[in-house]
Structure 1
Amino acid sequence: MKTLLKEARELKNLKTREVAQLLGIDQALISKFESGSRKPTKDQVSKLATLLEIDFETIMVSWLKEKIIHEIGQGEFALKALRAAEEELKLNISPSNNKVSTVLQQLLNEIDIFKAKLNTFSTTETSVIAQALEIEYTHASNWMEGNSLSLAETDLVINEGQTISGKSMREHLEAINHQEAIEFIKNRVKNNASFGEQEIISLHTIILRGILPKEAGHYRQSVKKPPLCSFKYNVYFEY
């Protein structure tokens, strides 16, 4: 397995330091994995496979083989024990369940790696990226509803407080209100606060503030307010 890890790392032109940083593993451990003086854990093997794009089955078989040999050694009954274990595994392992578990684990590993890459950015860089994504989200959401503000104009309205010539007040408010709604949700998440019927009504109020003040935060007159337990599926607002 040590050769498999080293060759895969060099193929991707990564230094041991870079692999260690991306996976949150000490650099010295990466070197020991490649020299064979230290065995990675199952979780570490899984993450290494994802980062270095090594076939998951190949590396897991190699890791398990070395682990088994290390555990049972080469005693008199080693081979008999292996054959007995093989027969039991054939009876107990479900191939379909194993496949689903492998796919899920690879997805989780990819998420961890992307998160590690994101953590390499400075706080300032991360903040700039988040702000840009929020502006794009606001612009795209409003554009789908007929708002004619461009992405650049949306940015100027929200971050610079500018008024764009030729654009209606409603279009300006749609941009501003949408951004405020995002901040409302972010604050609730940050404070680990609940998010129920009242919070959804508050969001609706923010979105329609100054646009349709009479409808903002209210149920339609023709629709009876549903019980709280079915709120998730049956809420109708006027917009």
Structure 2
Amino acid sequence: AIKITDNVKKIFYTKAQPFSLGPWYTITNFAEYIEYPVPVDNYAIPIVFEDVPADQGHYSYKRFGGDDKIVVPNALENIFTYTIMLPEKRFKYAHSVPMDPCSCIAYPLFSEAEARIQQFIAGLGYNSMGGGVEAWGPGSAFGNLSGLGEQSRVSSIIEPRYGSNTKGSLRMLTDLPLAPTKPIDAGIREFCKTCGICAEHCPTQAISHEGPRYDSPHWDCVSGYEGWHLDYHKCINCTI
């Protein structure tokens, strides 16, 4: 877990388009299936931190009577990260059709895990805001700061115990008291600097052959942190 300090707020997205990132659950109706037209417009709105009650996090658009912003209560002072373990057979199916379901099985699990965590936190009497796999800011940045793993050449986090056989550095905001955790140094980042085998064997050449950099050469992978940036436009053609 990470305390949301002024420095940590710098790695939050300035703006976001709620449902392009994932289902933005309300605090009181967490994980609710919405069966009516959702008031979401087609442009990004600012993420702002405000002194509102912990259960009043929300998003709204002016066209629907709102205020064009995603409001995060300052009372949600922690952000924690977690990931999804993938089937061990995933790597045995590399460069083959079964690789796709072995990798993509994580996506429905993102929503399921998020909903269960939010229900658990609510059961303890606390509040939370999720938002899906791409919410709040770059997953690798939050994953690094929390000690979930180290950012790797494949752009995502590599976890010391399970390697790259995980998907997502998901993050959730909460007022649940949590002990802060620190970044780790398992030698993964340094190893990635000189290895490069993943980039050589990447079928779509989505993985960078260069060293870490602050500016992303790809429009669909954010800048602002020193690391490797994946070409997601190529990556979606192969789920390795």
Scaled by the length of structure 2, what TM-score is found?
0.21
Structure with higher strand content: 2
Structure with higher helix content: 1
Scaled by the length of structure 1, what TM-score is found?
0.21
